[in-house]
């Protein structure tokens, strides 16, 4: 007796059924007026099968029905507890739990409702692969959104990558799910997606928490809740701090090229032991990447020694090609396995926090690559990207553009931003290529793009997405940073969303960066004709919360490294670098600089090689590193340099018009006290003795910092520790200082009120 029609069997065999639970597994039926159970299983590689009843300690043979590999048997019992299947495959037998005996979906109707309207902020806890226990049996629950697929299956080592064995069930909103018992953390898997034309796509999990090391592309079942964090004090402190009134000095780093290790060097394991690692960087023979734990041991002390407040990493989300720098992401929820496991990355962040260093991660919601295992054409249709290439493709980059008008796609990205804060305790994101998201005609010729509904060039859906993400970040994680790399004049980028802004709290000042590099690349004699390059940024500075950034983009593609851009002989090149960065740290705005600038690397950044650490054996490069160490110390120790970065009261020109000498001077004021510092910058190699500037108060002004100091490789011209004021009014100030300005030098001075008071008492 059979209990199923041939057509139903064929729908399973040919993987054409959207809900295999309707046929497979256990079903209660009526037989001879009595309630019994029928168990069905499709076992493509089995020659025989049995149902095993562990509690009753017996097994019952199954019969082939309509196909040699489709089995069923009737069990005469009113109650059927967890059963197992025993199968014979060639000369081997094995026993396992039947996945189709666990008909318990993890996604609730409310989960699906929130996801379909784009508002499930923790959807990563439901979609993807998660360890679970159903009916007392441990396993892994899989769920993937593929609404236009004909079928979806889970592939893995556990089923020999055979999509017929673990066919998933489709819910009413396009989410396919399946609980597979007895799988564990560490299981490698993919999804096999079939479209209605029968084409098969093998995809990594969009919500997968880990992936194999490239060039392999399988996702890996991972438990993100097993790591024991030790940064509660840091997290609580962050929650109560306003980063805009704190020092923010960022060391931007690409983990894969900061430093390599030899292939014969063992890597550090979580328990402190070691094991050989053979992960080799593609163009550096005999070298391998450092692991996250090795980077924690080497990079963090280095950054702490230099005094930076944050480490910013180029994208650490999984990406297939080293040469993309991480900006073409295929695993948005997976830290790249090049450097270790998710737990290893958690350890790195934890160690940063233990050392009072914040962690920023570059985030790439603007585009994604076309790799076959990634998001592109995910379910046989343009699911994550726009179908119209005029909206859905960046031809120049060879990448696809997210469809921000689709709720589920927007939810995927929104939850992803929150995910990195939630699971990895990061302190901020830098959003890459924001301009490419805001403008529909970005890098597109006339006639190759589509206007918005009002006939404009603004991507209205992307704008609303950005606002929503930033609003949620600051709602869930106060004290965090969201930084825009936005290269146009789009207004109110760093204004709150309730005022109509995009909601970032910082924006890279690309105009300042271009002005500075143009200015410093010219011969100092010509700088007198370009004083506006130095001063123009203050005309618009208070329109946004700006971060001054000299990033990786400025030291690649034939642009030369920073020191190579400088004119003059070797001494002048180093002096120009010191002058540039000293002015940068004295100028209002938070700071970001790319690795290698701190010791004056000559060659451009090479993603395949180490930084040129061998240069540190030469005194000028070691002295430049000392300069940055002291510059960061000055910045962190003087509240006047950071508490009012974005308030007009925090900055005052003394003199910005002395273009004949290429000198500027200004005051920075503290928000919480009446203290201030005076910065004087000489941008030519010509020193100036008896250079007078006006100051607001009388007394002794200590020379806190001199970029021309001997220990930095300078000529050591200065003011012997400081100067007393004269009762000569100048620059609309009642008092003035007679200073010696060093060549290509920046002075930072501060009124010593204690010394002034002592002298006044003596008098």
Q: What is the 3-state secondary structure (H, E, C) of 309-361?
A: CEEEECCCEECCCHHHCCCCCCEEEEECHHHCCHHHHHHHHHHHHHCCCEEEE
The one catalytic residue in 362, 485, 630, 703 is 485
φ/ψ of residue 99, rounded to 5: -60, -30
Nearest to 640 by CA among 604, 689, 687, 587: 587
Cα 747 to Cα 228: distance, rounded to the nearest angstrom: 46
- CA distances for 258 relative to 298, 602, 613, angstroms: 10, 15, 9
Residues 72 and 39: beta-carbon distance below 8 Å = yes
Instruction: Assess contact for 365 and 329: CB atoms under 8 A.
Output: no
Number of C-beta neighbours around residue 280 at 10 A: 14
What sign for the dihedral angle of Cα 641, 644, 650, 653? positive
Length of the chain: 763
Token output for 673: 């006290």
Q: Which of 343, 432, 486, 658 is catalytic?
A: 432
Q: Which residue is listed with tokens 């009012």?
A: 644
Residue with tokens 């997210």: 402
**Which residues are bridge partners to 38 per DSSP?**
27, 74
Name the residue with tokens 């001054």. 548
Place of tokens 């928000």: 671
Alpha helices in 604-725 (DSSP H): 619-637
The closest alpha carbon to 10, from 94, 66, 76, belongs to 66
Angle 236-507-117 from CA coordinates, rounded to 5°: 70
Rounded Cα gap, residues 259 and 301, in angstroms: 14
CB 200 within 8 A of CB 193: yes
Annotated active-site residue 322? The verdict is no
Q: Which of 115, 114, 126, 183 is nearest to 155 (CA)?
A: 183
Q: Cα 362 to chain center, whole Å?
A: 3
Residue with tokens 């540190």: 616
Q: Where are the beta strands (DSSP E) in 374-456?
A: 393-394, 399-400, 428-431
Please confirm, yes or no, whether 619 is among the known catalytic residues: no
For the annotated catalytic residues, the residue numbers are: 432, 485
């Amino acid at each position: 007796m059979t209990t199923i029609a041939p057509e139903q069997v064929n729908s399973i065999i040919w993987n054409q059924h959207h809900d295999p639970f309707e046929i497979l597994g256990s079903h209660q039926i009526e037989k001879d007026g009595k309630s019994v159970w029928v168990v069905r299983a499709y076992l493509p590689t089995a020659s025989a099968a049995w149902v095993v009843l562990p509690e009753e300690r017996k097994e019952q043979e199954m019969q082939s029905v309509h196909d040699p590999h489709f089995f069923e048997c009737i069990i005469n019992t009113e109650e059927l507890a967890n059963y197992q299947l025993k199968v014979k495959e060639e000369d081997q037998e094995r026993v396992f739990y039947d996945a189709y005996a666990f008909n318990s979906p993890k996604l609730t109707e409310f989960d699906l409702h929130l996801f379909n309207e784009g508002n499930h902020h923790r959807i990563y806890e439901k979609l993807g692969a998660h360890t679970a226990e159903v009916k007392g049996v441990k396993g892994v629950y899989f769920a993937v959104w593929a609404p236009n697929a004909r079928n979806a299956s889970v592939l893995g080592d556990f089923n020999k990558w055979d999509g017929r064995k673990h066919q998933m069930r489709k819910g009413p909103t396009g989410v396919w799910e399946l609980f597979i018992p007895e799988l564990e953390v560490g299981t490698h898997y993919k999804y096999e997606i079939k479209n209605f034309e029968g084409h098969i796509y093998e995809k990594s999990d969009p919500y997968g928490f880990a992936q194999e090391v490239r060039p392999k592309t399988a996702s890996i079942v991972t438990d993100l809740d097993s790591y024991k964090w030790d940064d509660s004090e840091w997290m609580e402190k962050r929650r109560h701090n306003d980063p805009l009134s704190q020092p923010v000095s960022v060391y931007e780093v690409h983990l894969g090229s900061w430093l390599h290790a030899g292939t014969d060097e063992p890597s550090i394991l979580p328990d402190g032991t070691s094991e050989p690692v053979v992960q080799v960087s593609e163009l550096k023979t005999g070298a391998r990447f450092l692991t996250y734990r090795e980077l924690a041991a080497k990079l963090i002390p280095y950054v702490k020694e230099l005094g930076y407040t944050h480490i910013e990493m180029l994208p650490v989300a999984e990406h297939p090609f080293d040469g993309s720098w991480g900006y073409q992401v295929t695993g948005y929820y997976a830290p790249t396995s090049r450097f270790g496991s998710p737990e290893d990355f958690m350890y790195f962040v934890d160690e940063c926090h233990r050392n009072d260093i914040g962690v920023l991660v570059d985030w790439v919601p603007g585009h994604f690559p076309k790799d076959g295992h990634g998001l592109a054409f995910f379910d046989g249709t343009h699911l994550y990207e726009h179908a119209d290439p005029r909206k859905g493709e960046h031809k120049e980059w060879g990448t696809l553009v997210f469809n921000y008008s689709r709720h589920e796609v927007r939810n995927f990205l929104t939850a992803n931003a929150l995910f990195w804060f939630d699971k990895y305790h990061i302190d901020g994101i830098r959003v890459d290529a924001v301009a490419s998201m805001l403008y529909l005609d970005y890098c597109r010729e006339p006639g190759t793009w589509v206007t918005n509904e009002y006939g404009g060039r603004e991507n209205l859906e992307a704008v609303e997405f950005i606002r929503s993400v930033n609003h949620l970040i600051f709602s869930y994680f106060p004290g965090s940073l969201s930084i825009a790399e936005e290269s146009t004049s789009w207004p109110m980028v760093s204004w709150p969303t309730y005022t109509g802004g995009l909601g970032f709290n910082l924006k890279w000042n690309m105009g300042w960066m271009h002005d500075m590099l143009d200015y410093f690349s010219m011969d100092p004699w010509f700088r007198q004709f370009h004083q506006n390059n130095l001063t123009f940024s203050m005309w618009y500075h208070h329109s946004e919360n700006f971060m001054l950034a000299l990033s990786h983009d400025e030291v690649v593609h034939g642009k030369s490294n920073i020191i190579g851009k400088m004119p003059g002989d070797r001494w002048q090149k180093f002096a120009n670098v010191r002058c540039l960065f000293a002015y940068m740290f004295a100028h209002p705005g938070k700071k970001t600089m790319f690795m290698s600038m701190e010791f004056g690397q000559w060659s451009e950044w090479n993603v395949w090689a180490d930084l040129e650490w061998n240069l540190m054996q030469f005194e000028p490069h070691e002295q430049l590193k000392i300069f940055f160490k002291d510059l960061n110390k000055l910045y962190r120790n003087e509240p006047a340099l950071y508490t009012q970065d974005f308030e007009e009261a925090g900055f005052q020109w003394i003199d910005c018009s002395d273009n004949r000498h290429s000198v500027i001077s200004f005051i920075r004021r503290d928000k919480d006290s009446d203290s201030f510092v005076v910065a004087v910058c000489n941008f030519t190699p010509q020193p100036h003795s008896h250079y007078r500037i006006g100051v607001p108060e009388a007394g002794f002004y200590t020379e806190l910092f001199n970029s021309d100091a001997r220990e930095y490789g300078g000529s050591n011209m200065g003011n012997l520790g400081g100067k007393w004021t004269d009762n000569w009014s100048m620059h609309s100030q009642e008092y003035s200082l007679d200073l010696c300005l060093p060549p290509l030098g920046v002075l930072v001075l501060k009124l010593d009120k204690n010394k002034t008071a002592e002298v006044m008492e003596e008098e």
